[in-house]
Amino acid sequence: MPKPVKTLAEFTRAQAGGRLPGLFRAGWSLDFPYVENALGHYASGALFNFSVYRAPKFDALLKSADRQVSASGATRLYQRAESLLVQDLPAIPLWFTREMAGYSSRIASAKLTPSGWLDASSVRIA
pLDDT one-digit tens code per residue, 14-46: 877 777 777 777 777 777 778 888 899 999 989
Indicate the number of domains in the chain. 2
Tell whether 83 and 112 lie within a shared domain.
Answer: no
Tell whether 79 and 112 lie within a shared domain.
Answer: no
pLDDT one-digit tens code per residue, 64-105: 999 999 999 999 999 999 999 999 999 888 877 777 778 899
Tell whether 24 and 83 lie within a shared domain.
Answer: yes
Tell whether 100 and 82 lie within a shared domain.
Answer: no
Q: Is residue 2 part of a domain?
A: no
Tell whether 44 and 103 lie within a shared domain.
Answer: no
Tell whether 61 and 29 lie within a shared domain.
Answer: yes
Query: Which pLDDT does position 8 carry in this prediction?
Result: 83
Query: Which pLDDT does position 103 carry in this prediction?
Result: 83
pTM value > 0.85: no
Tell whether 42 and 62 lie within a shared domain.
Answer: yes
DSSP conformation letters of the chain: ------SHHHHHHHHHTT---S--------SSS-HHHHHGGGSTT-TT-TT----HHHHHHHHHHHH-SSHHHHHHHHHHHHHHHHHH-SS-------------TTEEEEEE-TTS-EEEEEEEE-
Write out the residue range of the structural domain in which residue 125 sits.
Answer: 96-126
Tell whether 65 and 28 lie within a shared domain.
Answer: yes
Q: Is residue 3 part of a domain?
A: no
